[in-house]
Each structure stands twice: as C-alpha cells, then as structure tokens.
C-alpha cells in the first residue's frame, strides 16, 4: 500500500485533466504499445479502425505513465482491477482515482486523490447531433433545450450534454445500469448544473462539473464527486 507522501501532486486534493491529441503523440513517440500489458495489446489488435486502435493505445500508454510516475512503479508493471461494470482502478493505490476516455484523434485522462472522477471526450460531429438520436440518451428537459436551440448551434449543446452525462456515469462507475433520463444537465457559463430524479438517490451538492472544447474540436466533460470546489489543473498536449 502506498502512502500519501508518495502520490505527488494528486495528494493535495486537486484534480488533473490531461487532454492529448493522438496524431501529435504518435508523431512524437514511437513504441507506445510497448508500455501496454499483454491483454491490452490483444485488445488493441481487435479494433477494426486504425483511429480507434491508436486512441486506445495512446490512452492506456499515457495512463500507465502518469500512474507509474505517481506510485513509483514501472508503467508496464501496473496491474489494474475492474469493477463489475468495467471501471478500472489501481489496487496498490486505492486512493489514487483516475478515469480515461478515448475517441478518434483525442484522449482525456483525469486523476485525483480520494475523489471519484469520470471523464468523457467526444469528437464533435454535427451530423450525429440529431433530435432523433437525442430521444435515446437525454432527459425531457435536455431534449426540450435541444429543440429550443438554434439548429446551427445544436451540435455544441448536444455534445456538451452528452459528455457531461457520460462523465457522471463514469464517475459513479455503474455504466448504463443507471437510467440516462434519471438525471438532467443544464449548462452554466462555468460548467453545468445537474438535477436528479429521486430514484437515482443522489444530490447535486455532492458533485462538481467542468466542461470544455479543445482546439481540435473535441468536447470534454469532467465529473468529480465532491461537495466542495476542487482545483482543476488542465494540461493540453
């Protein structure tokens, strides 16, 4: 078991978000795949699209490097545990929380100390942001906000809501076992506010949300299970 003293920057209660452009990373560094475990390399080999495989490899390699540096272990030696819904954790440092997301061209990795965290990043594709698609993923109030939004800007709201919902689900670690219409976001200038149906057994006061857009056109959102403001350090590479 690791002590807080060995955990570096994340020990101060702050959270970190690392936003990475996959093509940049690939051009700077050959051999990222060598940092992966055998099962991760096997998973990488099963992706049909190159862009998906490259994003997966970049995400796992950089995650291993960040965590390895925190806990003082060779990144290749780290062994992850997974909950029943697939959320990874690091048994040798249970207080060190992390989550990652990969999409075509971009990766997001979030780290924190003792605060459950979920992150999502998506390429903003206007053609995917249809009101029909929204009926499957969003709560009534979110669908109404999308319908009210001018068509030219609807994709921005769609992906902001989508990534926030994913980030919340991922922070809880229960995946799609939670109902997507059981919680609803409303955007605010500095983040977002959440409302819950009582069946979800959760309180807005327990959460902090951040969101943004990268220069490469990827929307991201971060959810932190905290009842106080948490300093967030964002690095983009």
Ligand X SMILES: CC(C)(COP(=O)(O)OP(=O)(O)OC[C@H]1O[C@@H](n2cnc3c(N)ncnc32)[C@H](O)[C@@H]1OP(=O)(O)O)[C@@H](O)C(=O)NCCC(=O)NCCS
Binding site for ligand X (CB under 6 A): 56, 59-60, 85-88, 99-102, 118, 120, 137, 162, 165-166, 169-170, 173, 175-176, 180
Beta bridge partners of 65: none
Q: What is the rounded CA–CA span in Å between residue 36 and residue 164?
A: 29
Residue 64 or 208 with smaller CB distance to ligand X: 64
Q: Among residues 12 and 65, whose Cβ is nearest to ligand X?
A: 65
First CA to last CA across the chain, in angstroms? 31
Among candidate residues 205, 202, 209, 206, the one with its CA nearest the CA of residue 186? 209
To the nearest whole angstrom, how small is the minimum distance from the Cβ of residue 3 to ligand X?
Answer: 25
Based on CB atoms, which residue is closest to ligand X, 71 or 137? 137
Residue-wise DSSP of 25-55: HHHH-S-GGGGS-HHHHHHHHH-SSHHHHHH
Minimum distance of ligand X from residue 83's CB (angstroms): 7
* Angle in degrees, CA 182, 170, 10, rounded to 5: 135
Minimum distance between the CB of residue 192 and ligand X, rounded to whole angstroms? 13
Closest approach of ligand X to the CB of residue 220, in Å: 10
Q: Compute the least distance from the CB of residue 169 to ligand X, in Å.
A: 5
Nearest C-alpha neighbor of 4 from the set 108, 118, 94? 94
Pick between residue 180 and residue 232 the one whose CB is nearest to ligand X: 180
Residue nearer to ligand X on the CB measure, 101 or 113: 101
Q: How far apart are CA 105 and CA 156, in angstroms?
A: 18
> How many other CB atoms sit within 10 Å of the CB of residue 8?
16
Give the nearest distance from C-beta 66 to ligand X in angstroms: 13
Question: Packing angle between helix 140-148 and helix 154-172, nearest 10 degrees?
Answer: 160
Please report how close the Cβ of residue 146 comes to ligand X at its closest, in angstroms.
Answer: 13
Please state, in angstroms and rounded to a whole number, the distance separating the CA atoms of residues 21 and 29. Answer: 12
Q: Is 7 or 161 the residue whose CB approaches ligand X more closely?
A: 161
- Cα separation, 18 vs 100, whole angstroms: 9
Residue whose CB is less far from ligand X, 170 or 208: 170
């Amino acid at each position: 078991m690791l002590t807080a003293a060995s955990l570096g920057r994340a020990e101060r209660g702050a959270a970190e978000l690392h936003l990475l452009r996959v093509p940049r990373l690939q051009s700077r560094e050959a051999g990222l795949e060598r940092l992966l475990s055998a099962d991760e390399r096997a998973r990488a080999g099963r992706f049909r699209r190159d862009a998906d495989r490259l994003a997966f490899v970049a995400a796992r390699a950089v995650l291993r490097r960040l965590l390895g540096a925190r806990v003082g272990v060779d990144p290749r030696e780290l062994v992850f545990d997974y909950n029943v819904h697939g959320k990874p954790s690091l048994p040798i440092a249970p207080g060190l929380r992390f989550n990652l997301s990969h999409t075509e061209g971009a990766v997001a990795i979030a780290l924190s100390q003792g605060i459950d965290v979920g992150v999502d990043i998506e390429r903003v594709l206007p053609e995917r942001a249809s009101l029909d698609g929204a009926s499957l993923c969003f709560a009534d109030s979110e669908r109404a906000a999308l319908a009210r939004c001018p068509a030219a800007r609807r994709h921005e709201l769609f992906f902001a809501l989508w990534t926030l919902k994913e980030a919340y689900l991922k922070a809880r670690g229960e995946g799609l076992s939670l109902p997507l219409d059981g919680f609803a976001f409303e955007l605010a200038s500095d983040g977002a506010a959440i409302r819950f149906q009582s069946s979800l057994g959760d309180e807005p006061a327990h959460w902090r949300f951040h969101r943004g857009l990268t220069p490469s056109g990827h929307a991201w959102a971060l959810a932190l299970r905290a009842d106080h403001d948490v300093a967030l350090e964002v690095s983009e590479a």
